[in-house]
Structure 1
């Protein structure tokens, strides 16, 4: 049997994690496991060109229904008001370690060069769907904001709430500037449906679905993930021990 790249990497991790449900509760053990996660990320990137593209598909290969992941509607008064106004008052704030903070409307996003791509969404729950996404490259938006040299990560804050706080996720600058990482406002040639993250969601095509933050409100350039949630860079990473680097 020939193992694929992800199977080879995941196999070692599975051996390490087997039977460790109680051990992982110990802070020292958690640090060791998270060091292993960093090794996974480094090994995967050593084996793959950083600019390698995720597979893209033909229009006829699109799924007849693109199933939503996570929240289907933020359900807050603020989001409801934006939705009623067809998101005319929505703004995506680009801030943190940038030279020129931005507040971008949907019209502003549409003024950037657009990328359309038909890709497969792989959910950690075990399902997949193929859809066409359109929006500007995140890298182009970050260049317009002038990301400072000290920045290492982009942290996304969203309109949906988990545990009383806005949902959050993050990527490093390698994935932020990948050509297939876009701020998608359209799905299958229509404005993004609410259940799929309207008015704008992240598409970071080389990672699992939970990294593709929906209902985007803010993208913040930071030097470190320390002090954001529990310091692991995302809601699920902090609360359910999902991997921060969910590469596929």
Structure 2
């Protein structure tokens, strides 16, 4: 019960990393807000948690919309009375393409979700943490693309690089308030989002291509990332802030 009596908000909780993390956090005693742009999948995550005796509420949230973020946090406070952990996990992928083929619309969409979504989460969670006066934890999902970008993943890599820099800046800024800030750099994860990276490529060929660059020889599973988030969110990591945790099978070495 590493998160007993903690309250956690997890974005992108309707599938993949977010769903696995929500379930794992609940197993360790957290009360969870499962936020996702797809309310139905968020509700499915909550149903899984409740079947195991946990507490969860589902909230429809477009992380690029400030009102949605505020509503997500207000709903959490109304339901559970406090906020301890914000996991900015929601993100969107990018099919590899040369920079000259990237449209302004695609650029804006990636930055809106992957960067603005994290900014808004932090912007509106931090005042709550400060008001409570007991610290807090902010975790964000970045990517191994920050240090080892693949060809054609230009804007996606840039968006995740921004998260890493923002994480370090906020760690320095918020330390006096005992608010810890960290990020996780996953390698390619075996989730539905993976298909958003490969487009119309042959799936087996794409998997083989990704695996060939990972020294440990496999893609990440959602639980690999979830357990990293569990550690960062727990009191066991009480001296950890500004950390960027690579969960990449050695790809960044």
Q: What TM bracket, shorter-length normalisation?
A: under 0.3
TM-score normalised according to structure 1 size: 0.25
TM-score normalised according to structure 2 size: 0.25
Higher helix share: 2
